Amino acid sequence: MSDFEYPRPQLVRDNWTCLNGQWDFAFDDGARHERPCDDIGWNRTIRVPFAPEAPASGIGDGGYHPCCWYRRQFDVENSGPQRIILHFGAVDYHACVWVDGEKVAEHEGGHTPFSSDITRALKGPGPHTVVVRAYDDPHDLAKPRGKQDWLAQPHSIWYPRTTGIWQTVWLERVPATYIRTLKWTPQFENFEIGCDVHVEGEQDESLMVEVRIRHGKVLLADDIYKVVGGDAVRKIALSDPGIDDSRNELLWSPERPTLLDAEVRLLLRGEVVDTVTSYTAMRAFQVNRDRLLLNGRPYPLRLVLDQGYWPETLMTAPNDAALRRDVELAKAMGFNGVRKHQKIEDPRYLYWADKLGLLVWEEMPSAYRFSAKSMTRLLREWTEAIERDYSHPCVIVWVPFNESWGVPNLTSTQAHRNAVEALFHVTKMLDSTRPVIGNDGWEASATDILGIHDYDCDADKLRARYEVTDPVRTLFDQRRPGGRILTLDGFPHRGQPIVLTEFGGIAFSGKQGEAHTWGYSTVDSEESFYALYRRLLEVVNNTFMFSGFCYTQFTDTFQEANGLLRADRTPKIPLEMINAATRNAPQQPQPPSPVP
């Protein structure tokens, strides 16, 4: 397995070239240059896709550097009726791209992909040169930045900054007329799958799309339909086995992550001009009164909060194997899902969650200052994130805001409320198939699920707080977990499912002499760590009010030492013990197993 696999797992072609590796690099701290030139001073090299703050990049400079430049040469065959597309997985924050001296792309937003058809910009037979200017003001609190610290050194719950390219850069050769986007929408009730194809290039009345969907060797659908105005939209009825046992074998869940393989072919005047492979799944995640349903049945969530950082590579995974390992470790610890916190994760992580069976709760990285500009930025990037990840069966919930970050005056300022409600409804408009939480943690208004953050590590107090006979009066009117009201005036609890979406946070480094660690509570031994974790998980598993929970957190992350795993992904106590406590199952004495 190579370090970086095909970056777009739900629309795959064979003909692609990875541009990760060594690039020329230069800081431009005064942002003096607007276009490529020799005066930039190409005095360093960097290993893409790792950010210059990351040691693995070869730079490892965490200082304030608002502007930086990248340059590399590449060769590409450019002949016949084809197009060359240049793709960027993510560049933080504002990117301008030139190829052979011609500007080909500009994109704002540090967590979402962009691409450009560079065919006409390619001069001569090559080699060709791509140059990237990345501008990312480290002090700008009005842009979506998630957990990236604005101080010189990471503090509290914030981490090192990420500047510039931090996901895969790649080239793709496509036909003159090709499949640009592909979107899948499972419709569980009718046993159908919606397929939306957008075609770029020559628009001809003869354009047709052929879709084949298989489960293993069994052909479930073989459908062909017309492209109109560049789009082909179709509901594909799968062969319904009719019998529950056979039907259930086709449903996706963490316990049985059944993926349906798909091949999509584009036909122009009867000839196949483009072929892509993909996958989808039949699954539904819904709200029904006070419970969450997966495929029509109540499904308690056991989530772990995952920051998605690595010590040497920061927000970028060291390689594809590291992404797979994180999914395997979450499952090995007894969780059926993760809450990706303040990060739009790499699509390859979502691929492994789809394939191995792990639910993903997707959350928009926050801005920390409210303004029309910050909300416009957030809306644009959030829309791109939903478009990118819409088809992944593992994604079950969208969360545009967390803990009133970026909208701090929800109790007193109508504009802040309007922002949350607007993002909630825009998200529901873009995707009507998944629940949405407008603002997770407290001060809820428009929401399908009520998320509560409560870091009280006294298990008896936690039990008493939530084992109440009249939650509307006792919990919502009289008590304030975290010192905040749970719902805003005018938005009483309407019976939505309640999920304890942050709790725990037990700090234990497990290393002799370890200092400078932070957590919501602290213990000093493996025994006390396990005892407190087990007691907390017993309470939340047995609290009827909760439709699920999310424990803080998956790994230690820089100064925040409240992970179940260390930053290098080694467990602080045996995985079997964590697993049993997570599921509130009896712990059977057994020797520790190796880490997956």
Residue 286, in any domain of the structure: no
Cα distance between residue 448 and residue 37, in whole Å? 52
Chain-centroid distance, C-alpha 269:
39
Per the document, the length of the chain is 596
Closest CA to 189 of 237, 144, 149, 156: 237
Rounded Cα distance between 205 and 202, Å, is: 10
* 189/311 same-domain check: no
Q: What is the pLDDT of residue 513?
A: 44
Q: Which residues pair with 68 in a beta bridge?
A: 27, 134
Are residues 237 and 149 located together in one domain of the fold? no
Last residue of a domain, one of 175, 200, 223: 175
In a domain, 413, yes or no: yes
Contact present, 403 and 364 (Cβ < 8 Å): no
Give the end of a domain, one of 144, 159, 175.
175
Mapping DSSP to helix (H, G, I), strand (E, B) and coil, where does residue 482 land?
helix
* Structural domain includes residue 4: no
- The SS3 of residue 463 is helix
In sequence order, what DSSP letters do the residues of 504-568 get, joined into one string? E-EE---STT--S-B-SEE--SHHHHHHHHHHHHHHHHH-TTEEEEEEE-SB-BTTB---SB-TT
Crossing angle of helices 347-356 and 320-332, in 10° steps, is: 40
CA distances from 26 to 31, 36, 65, 98, 133 (A): 11, 11, 10, 16, 10
Give the H/E segment covering residue 10.
none
Across-strand partners of 235?
A: 194
Give the end of a domain, one of 122, 142, 175: 175
> Two tokens at 69?
């430049």
Residue 203: asked if its preceding bond is cis (omega within 30°), the reply is no
Residue 1 lies in a domain: no
Helix (H, G, I), strand (E, B) or coil at 318: coil
Residues 346 and 269 in one domain: no
Give the chain's domain count. 3
Is residue 267 located within the same domain as residue 372? Answer: no
How do the residues of the chain divide into helix, strand and coil, expressed in percent and rounded to 5?
A: 20, 35, 45
Give the pLDDT confidence score for residue 588 in this predicted structure.
62
Residues 6+ apart with CB under 8 A from 505: 455, 457, 519, 520, 521, 552, 553, 562
Q: Quick one: 228 and 188 in the same domain?
A: yes
Domain containing residue 331: CATH number: 3.20.20.80
Q: Which of 293, 550, 499, 254 shows the shortest CA–CA distance to 393?
A: 254
In a domain, 11, yes or no: no
The predicted structure's pLDDT at residue 512: 47
CA dist., res. 16 & res. 67, Å (int): 29
Same domain, 153 and 206: no
Answer whether residue 115 is part of any domain. yes
In terms of pTM, does the model score above 0.85? Answer: yes
| Shared-domain flag, residues 488 and 559 | yes
Domain extent, residue 163, equals 16-175
Q: What angle do CA 31, 35, 38 make, to 5 degrees?
A: 90
What CATH code is carried by the domain that includes residue 108? Answer: 2.60.120.260
Assess whether 345 and 233 both reside in one domain.
Answer: no
For residue 480, tell me if it sits in a domain: yes
Same domain as 220, residue 133: no
Over the chain (596 residues), the average pLDDT of each successive run of 10 is: 82 95 96 90 95 98 96 87 95 97 97 97 92 97 96 92 98 96 94 95 91 94 93 86 70 97 95 97 95 96 98 97 98 98 97 98 97 97 98 98 96 96 98 97 95 95 86 70 85 91 90 65 93 96 95 95 96 96 80 51
Contact (Cβ atoms closer than 8 angstroms) between residue 452 and residue 480: no
Whether the Cβ atoms of residue 418 and residue 379 lie closer than 8 Å to each other:
no
Token couple for 70: 């990248």
- Structure tokens, 141: 């609190």
If one counts every other C-beta atom within 10 angstroms of the C-beta of residue 204, the result is: 12
What residue spans of 341-455 are helical by DSSP H?
A: 347-356, 372-389, 414-430
31 shares a domain with 164: yes
Q: Which of 38, 34, 62 is nearest to 50 (CA)?
A: 62
394-429 as b/e, with b when 16 or more CB fall inside 10 Å? bbbbbbbbbbbbbbeebeeeeebbebbbebbebbbe
381 in the same domain as 316: yes
Q: Are residues 162 and 199 in the same domain?
A: no
CATH code, domain with 188: 2.60.40.10
Nearest C-alpha neighbor of 253 from the set 304, 303, 293, 195: 293
Q: Please, where are the H alpha helices in 266-319?
A: none
Q: Is residue 137 part of a domain?
A: yes
